[in-house]
């Protein structure tokens, strides 16, 4: 919604709602109007939505699925798996009867279903996920191997986050940043500018706390053009 310079955004997913905008009074008015018609509960500042963790730092916002992905790896018994640098083998062919039927098809459906939420912040696994989702009815051992490949790839991208910077000037505009490893064997932290509006931080040793400590210096690396 846009009215004379006042912007308000309302995101609805089933019975969950996110309301944001550039003026607090507008947000409060929307909440009050909704409260007069529906029974709603204001949970305050956004922290978790659709398996995405929202971390606030000053006026910046970090969106991360690290916690969610680590939970999937743990439930799948792959917490100690070897990280992979790609979500799918280019030579792998998946068909309906390409191997023996999987002994636990319920587990396959649960893991694949959980991973679908990861595509919200991981468009790089969207194609691989589309392939394994086609065999939910009768998964095979080969299909499960493909799912485990996606999980192994996800392990070394769990640190990837989206960083939205909203208070840099001039001019004032949001910047999208991707933070994570570029190689599963990479261990030394480094900073790499990968685009005008994107920055990649390779393997921060302290995870999200390290990222939060470094945010204040990121403005020195990104220049608005």
| 80-127 pLDDT, tens digit each | 999 898 999 888 889 999 999 999 999 999 999 999 999 988 888 999
Reported as a single tens digit per residue, the pLDDT across 141-185 is 999 999 999 999 998 777 777 766 665 443 333 344 444 444 555
Domain boundaries, the chain: 1-44, 66-155
- Residue 199 Rama label (left phi>0; alpha psi -120 to 50; beta): beta
pTM (two decimals): 0.70
Burial class (CB in 10 A: 0-12, 13-18, 19+), 4: exposed
Rounded distance, CA 52 to CA 47, Å?
8
Task: Kindly tell me if the per-residue pLDDT of 218 is higher than 60.
Answer: no
Best mean pLDDT range from 23-32, 49-58, 124-133, 188-197: 124-133
Tell me whether the omega of the peptide bond preceding residue 170 falls within 30 degrees of 0, making it cis: yes
């Amino acid at each position: 919604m846009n009215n004379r310079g006042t912007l308000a955004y309302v995101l609805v997913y089933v019975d969950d709602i996110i309301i944001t905008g550039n003026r607090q009074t507008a947000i409060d008015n929307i909440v009050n109007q909704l409260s007069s018609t529906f029974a709603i509960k204001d949970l305050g500042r956004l922290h978790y939505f659709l398996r995405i963790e929202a971390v606030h730092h000053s006026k910046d916002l970090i969106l991360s699925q690290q916690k969610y992905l680590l939970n999937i790896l743990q439930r799948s018994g792959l917490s100690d798996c070897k990280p992979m640098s790609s979500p799918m083998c280019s030579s792998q062919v998946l068909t309906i009867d390409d191997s023996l039927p999987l002994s636990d098809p319920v587990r396959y459906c649960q893991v694949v279903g959980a991973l679908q939420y990861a595509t919200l912040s991981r468009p790089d696994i969207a194609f691989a996920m589309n392939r394994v989702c086609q065999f939910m009815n009768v998964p095979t051992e080969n299909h499960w191997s493909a799912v485990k490949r996606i999980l192994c790839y996800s392990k070394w991208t769990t640190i990837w986050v989206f960083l939205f910077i909203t208070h840099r000037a001039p001019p004032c505009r949001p910047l999208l940043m991707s933070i994570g490893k570029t190689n599963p064997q990479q261990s030394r932290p480094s900073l790499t500018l990968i685009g005008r509006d994107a920055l990649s931080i390779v393997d921060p040793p302290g995870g999200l706390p390290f990222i939060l400590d470094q945010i204040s210096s990121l403005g020195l690396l990104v220049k608005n053009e």
